[in-house]
């Protein structure tokens, strides 16, 4: 992720999470939280509209999910809240059954995520290959960019007048210029916060006619209150909400764990995947009981936080508390902030998120890796992040399996006693099982054949079946087959499956199962 290193290479950003909490560090964390909170407002409102619920439902979710995950999440510096990836799934549920079913679904979603954390399933995020991660961040950057274009449209979807668009673009440019240039002069104030403040001052001081946060919707409200979802506790209700809960839980965890990895690369932290699963689950369970639409980690806002210097839990906690303050007491002030300022901040996030180095390496990496990068990017833009990651992992896994399937080979030579030895090279698994059998010639081979697995590995049931099938062919030809140099775990697999008999624990001799009528074969263990 060279783009991350370039973007965040500022003196005040090279702060390890274990640094002492000095007054200066505390100030940076608080200001980073304020910057994030300002960026969260239009995002939460927009995603609430996508899901078909009241804006406060999105704002309450951003506050509760953000606060709980900041307190107990697996990675300090991460920001969570209402997200578009979840909103596009929720819209069908809300349209068909109403918002109360959404609250019940969010509760169940949270419980499923807690279960995933307890089972420590978060560790499987390590199976996501690097090309998938590159495609993921590239697609995400494009999605964030496209999402900002909605700010240049009217509520009915039409583009704003050309003059209004030109004014907004000018204000966006001002915001981006401040964010780019301020760190070269001082790091006293986070650059994104300064960009928002400068642009807001220009708009308010000169009375410029440009859309503001208040033009989207009013964000004024009270404290979230405890509310049990008003749905019948029946099996029919479960059949309605369970499919949505499973999808939302999976999407939320995938996006959160990928964000955890990306933030970890910047801050130099590791681990915490299972803890993050539990934190996301607890946050969503609570949110469902307080009238929120649920959420997950937000990569864009996490990048804003990190770029602003946020490294500890204080920044995430302060972001959530600032957001609540906006809702309860500061709505009139926040509603005056021009959308152009927030668009400028998000455009800088786009520039920092996109892995520009991936464009250079497309023609240098293996072709399948380049295909995966492009595929994941396109699927992310066309569908959603979770589907894109799943598709990328599946394609990468199939490509890996195929490459290993074609690696199976064998060298042969004759022993002084007249036996033929096959030295097998490459893994023996479901993909290479057929190729493995084709290496042998039972009709032409001598009476004794030795299969040496010193350079191979028996990996699965398909491999065991391939060995069985090979033994059957030599049995039919009235010949003996001996297996050598299987690893200890292979011994265990074959023995448990009943294919081999253990004669000695110290220097084991193994024989093919007696039902083949094959004479004793020798397995020399140890590798």
**If you average pLDDT over every residue of the chain, what do you get?**
85
List, for residues 98-129, the tens digit of each pLDDT value. Answer: 999 999 999 999 999 999 999 999 888 888 88
Please check the confidence at residue 361 and state whether its pLDDT lies above 70: yes
**DSSP state letter for 231:** -
Average pLDDT over residues 71-91: 89
Q: Alpha helices, DSSP H only, in 458-525?
A: 461-476, 488-496
List, for residues 407-427, the tens digit of each pLDDT value. Answer: 889 999 999 988 999 999 988
- 473-475-479 Cα angle (round to 5): 105
Q: Which residue reads 């910047």 in tokens?
A: 266
* DSSP per-residue codes, 383-437: S-HHHHHHHHHHHHHHHHHHHHHTT-EEEEEE-TTS-EEEEEEEEESTTTHHHHH
Average pLDDT over residues 489-508: 49
List, for residues 274-329, the tens digit of each pLDDT value. Answer: 999 999 999 999 999 999 999 999 988 898 898 888 989 999 999 999 999 999 99
| pTM listed for this prediction | 0.74
Average pLDDT over residues 158-179: 94
pLDDT confidence of residue 519: 37
Token pair for 58 = 């999105």
Higher pLDDT, 187 or 326: 326
> Alpha-carbon distance 348 to 196, whole Å?
12
pLDDT confidence of residue 133: 87
> Taking Cα atoms as reference points, which of 175, 177, 196, 190 lies closest to residue 308?
190
What domains lie within the chain, and their CATH numbers?
23-216+225-397 (no CATH), 409-516 (3.30.750.24)
Range name among 40-44, 260-264, 316-320, 503-507 with the lowest pLDDT average = 503-507
Higher pLDDT, 88 or 290: 290
pLDDT confidence of residue 299: 84
Please check the confidence at residue 203 and state whether its pLDDT lies above 80: yes
For 44, half-sphere exposure in the C-beta direction (CA atoms, 13 angstrom radius) is 37
Instruction: Sheet with 409-414: list strands edge to edge.
Output: 409-414, 420-428, 448-458, 480-484
Average pLDDT over residues 384-394: 87
Please check the confidence at residue 9 and state whether its pLDDT lies above 90: no
Average pLDDT over residues 443-448: 91
> Alpha-carbon distance 307 to 311, whole Å?
10
CA-based Rg of the chain, rounded to a whole angstrom?
29
Per cent of the chain over pLDDT 70 is 88
Over 206-240, what HEC string results? HCCCCCEHHHHCCCCCCCCCCCCCCCCCCHHHHHH
Please return the burial class of 64, using the count of CB atoms within 10 Å of its CB with bins 0-12, 13-18 and 19+.
buried
Please check the confidence at residue 339 and state whether its pLDDT lies above 50: yes
Q: Which residue reads 């407002």 in tokens?
A: 41
Please check the confidence at residue 262 and state whether its pLDDT lies above 60: yes
Please check the confidence at residue 1 and state whether its pLDDT lies above 50: no
Range name among 440-449, 473-482, 511-520 with the lowest pLDDT average = 511-520
pLDDT confidence of residue 331: 92
Please check the confidence at residue 20 and state whether its pLDDT lies above 90: no
Per cent of the chain over pLDDT 90 is 48
Higher pLDDT, 490 or 98: 98
First and final C-alpha spacing in the chain:
38
Residue 372: alpha-carbon gap to chain centroid: 15
Token pair for 326 = 């906006």
Band (pLDDT 50/70/90 cuts) for residue 17 is very low
Q: How many other β-carbons are positioned within 10 Å of the β-carbon of residue 72?
A: 15
Strands (DSSP E) contained in 204-355 are: 296-297
* DSSP per-residue codes, 148-164: HGGGGB-TTSPBPPHHH
pLDDT confidence of residue 52: 85
335, 176 contact by CB (below 8 A): no
1, 289 contact by CB (below 8 A): no
Average pLDDT over residues 249-257: 91
* DSSP per-residue codes, 1-29: -HHHHHHT--GGG---TTS---HHHHHHH
Band (pLDDT 50/70/90 cuts) for residue 513 is very low
Average pLDDT over residues 436-462: 89
Q: Alpha helices, DSSP H only, in 13-83?
A: 23-51, 55-72
Please check the confidence at residue 453 and state whether its pLDDT lies above 70: yes
Q: Which residue reads 């698994």 in tokens?
A: 429
Q: How many other β-carbons are positioned within 10 Å of the β-carbon of residue 205?
A: 8
């Amino acid at each position: 992720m060279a783009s991350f290193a370039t973007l965040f290479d500022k003196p005040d950003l090279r702060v390890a999470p274990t640094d002492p909490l000095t007054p200066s560090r505390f100030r940076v964390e608080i200001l980073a939280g304020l910057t994030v909170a300002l960026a969260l407002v239009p995002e939460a409102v927009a995603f609430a509209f996508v899901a078909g619920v009241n804006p406060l439902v999105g704002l309450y979710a951003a506050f509760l999910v953000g606060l709980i995950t900041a307190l107990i999440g697996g990675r300090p510096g991460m920001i969570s809240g209402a997200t578009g990836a979840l909103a596009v799934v929720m819209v069908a549920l809300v349209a068909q059954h109403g918002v109360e079913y959404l609250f019940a679904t969010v509760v169940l979603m949270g419980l499923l995520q807690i279960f995933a954390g307890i089972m420590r399933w978060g560790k499987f995020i390590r199976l996501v290959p690097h090309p998938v991660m590159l495609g993921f961040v590239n697609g995400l950057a494009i999605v964030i960019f496209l999402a900002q274009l909605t700010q240049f449209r009217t509520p009915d979807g039409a583009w704003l007048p050309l003059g209004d668009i030109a004014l907004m673009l000018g204000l966006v440019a001002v915001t981006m210029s401040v964010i780019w240039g301020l760190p070269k002069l001082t790091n006293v104030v986070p650059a994104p916060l300064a960009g928002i403040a400068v642009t807001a001052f220009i708009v308010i001081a000169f009375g410029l006619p440009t859309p503001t946060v208040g033009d989207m919707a009013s964000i004024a409200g009270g404290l979230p209150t405890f509310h049990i979802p008003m749905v019948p506790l029946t099996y029919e209700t479960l059949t309605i909400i369970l499919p949505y809960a499973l999808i939302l839980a999976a999407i939320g965890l995938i996006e959160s764990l990928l964000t955890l990895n990306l933030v970890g690369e910047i801050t130099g932290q590791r681990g915490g995947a299972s803890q993050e699963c539990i934190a996301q689950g607890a946050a969503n369970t609570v949110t469902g009981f307080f009238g929120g639409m649920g959420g997950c980690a937000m990569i864009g806002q996490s990048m804003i936080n990190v770029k602003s210097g946020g490294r500890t839990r204080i920044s995430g906690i302060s972001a959530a508390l600032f957001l609540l303050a906006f809702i309860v007491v500061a709505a009139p002030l926040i509603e005056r902030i021009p959308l152009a300022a927030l668009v400028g901040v998000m455009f800088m996030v786009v520039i920092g998120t996109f892995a520009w180095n991936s464009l250079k390496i497309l023609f240098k990496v293996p072709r399948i890796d380049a295909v995966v990068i492009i595929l994941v990017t396109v699927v992310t833009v066309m569908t959603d992040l979770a589907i894109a990651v799943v598709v990328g992992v599946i394609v990468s896994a199939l490509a890996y399996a195929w490459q290993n399937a074609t690696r199976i080979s064998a060298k042969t030579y004759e022993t002084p006693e007249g036996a033929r030895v096959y030295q097998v090279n490459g893994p023996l698994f479901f993909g290479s099982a057929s190729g493995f059998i084709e290496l042998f010639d039972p009709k032409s081979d001598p009476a004794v054949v030795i299969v040496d697995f010193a350079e191979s590995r028996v990996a699965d049931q398909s491999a065991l079946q391939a060995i069985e099938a090979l033994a059957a062919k030599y049995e039919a030809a009235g010949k003996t087959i001996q297996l050598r140099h299987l690893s200890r775990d292979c011994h265990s697999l074959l023995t448990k499956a009943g294919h081999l008999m253990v004669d000695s624990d110290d220097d084991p001799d193994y024989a093919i199962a007696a039902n083949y009528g094959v004479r004793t074969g020798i397995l020399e263990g140890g590798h």
